[in-house]
């Protein structure tokens, strides 16, 4: 028999207006500061994107929300609970309420599609095999892959693998799903399919979604709000329409793919002419 959830599980308030709140969050490793005073609000039931250049701290934000990392300072509240103050049992209870789609899917390569989706059900519930079978097939049907239940991940295309990972992420009917680069490496058709599935699953299940991505075009089609992160800070944000109309230099550079701007093309270095001055 599985152990009973921690008492903290009963205190998660899924009716909060905001599913996630970050206030003044800072984080770093030793002397290297990654996040510098992050303020972010994720309304319940919405799809929110976090965008920015590689290494700016986007995935770190997801790890802080899930309690894998603890901030140096600031508040992180999920469903009314302060994540850094949860004990071990409380963290496990929280994570059972959070689905995660890892970058490139991260499916178990030796398990079938069916067993990948069934895995969290077998780990965290006492459901009989018959109930697990029915639930897994329902989740796979929702992402269009019920017929692929007995295939192995190596037999799937990249887009199919990402859809299986999405079915696994919602296997336990979470209150929150976090996506780490769900569109990476996908062809345009698969990318569009996965994007629309994220939107449809969010609305159909009444969950909240946080999407870390570089894909501007697809994100603007499915999200309710976007945050832009640069050098560890929130530098801009807004609805898709506000972002499209923005004149903010960073937003424009990111949307237009400009090689130079607030994010410079050249890494900091001394003037070029000094590299070629010979000692006299």
Beta bridge partners of 226: 49, 238
- pLDDT for res 3: 41
Residue range 172-177: average pLDDT? 92
The contacts of residue 148 (CB under 8 Å, 6+ apart) are 113, 140, 156, 160, 164
Give the range among 65-79, 106-120, 174-188, 261-275 with minimum mean pLDDT: 261-275
Residue range 199-214: average pLDDT? 91
Q: Is the pLDDT at 129 greater than 70, yes or no?
A: yes
Q: How far apart are CA 118 and CA 125, in angstroms?
A: 10
pTM of the predicted protein model: 0.85
**Among the listed residues 279, 261, 272, the one whose alpha carbon sits nearest the alpha carbon of residue 53:** 261
Q: How far apart are CA 231 and CA 250, in angstroms?
A: 12
pLDDT in tens, 184-193: 888 888 888 8
Q: How confident is the model at residue 117 (pLDDT cuts 50, 70, 90)?
A: very high
- pLDDT for res 278: 62
Q: How confident is the model at residue 31 (pLDDT cuts 50, 70, 90)?
A: confident
Alpha-helical (H) ranges within the chain are 58-65, 88-95, 113-124, 129-142, 158-169, 188-205, 216-222, 240-244, 249-256, 272-275
| φ/ψ (deg, to 5) at 52 | 160, 170
Q: What domains can be seen in the chain, in order of their start residue?
A: 18-97+207-254 (3.40.50.300)
């Amino acid at each position: 028999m599985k152990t009973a959830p921690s008492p903290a599980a009963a205190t998660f308030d899924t009716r909060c207006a905001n599913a996630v709140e970050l206030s003044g969050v800072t984080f770093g490793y030793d002397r290297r500061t990654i996040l510098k005073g992050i303020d972010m609000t994720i309304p319940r039931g919405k799809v929110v994107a976090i965008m920015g250049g590689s290494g700016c701290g986007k995935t770190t934000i997801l790890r802080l929300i899930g309690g894998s990392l603890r901030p140096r300072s600031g508040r992180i509240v999920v469903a009314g609970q302060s994540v850094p103050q949860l004990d071990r049992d409380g963290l496990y209870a929280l994570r059972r309420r959070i689905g995660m789609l890892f970058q490139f899917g991260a499916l178990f390569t030796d398990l079938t599609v069916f067993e990948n989706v069934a895995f969290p059900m077998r780990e965290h519930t006492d459901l009989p095999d018959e109930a697990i079978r029915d639930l897994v097939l329902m989740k796979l049907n929702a992402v269009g892959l019920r017929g692929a239940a007995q295939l192995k991940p190596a037999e799937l295309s990249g887009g199919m693998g990402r859809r299986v990972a999405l079915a696994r992420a919602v296997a336990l009917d979470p209150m929150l799903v976090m996506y780490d680069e769900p569109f990476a490496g996908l062809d345009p058709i698969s990318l569009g399919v996965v994007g629309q599935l994220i939107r449809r699953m969010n609305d159909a299940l009444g969950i909240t979604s946080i999407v870390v991505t570089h894909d501007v075009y697809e994100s603007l089609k499915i999200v309710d709000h976007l945050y832009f992160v640069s050098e560890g800070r929130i530098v801009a944000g807004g609805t898709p329409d506000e972002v499209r109309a923005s004149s903010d230099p960073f937003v424009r550079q990111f949307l237009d793919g400009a090689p130079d701007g607030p994010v410079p093309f050249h890494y900091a270095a001394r003037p070029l002419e000094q590299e070629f001055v010979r000692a006299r």
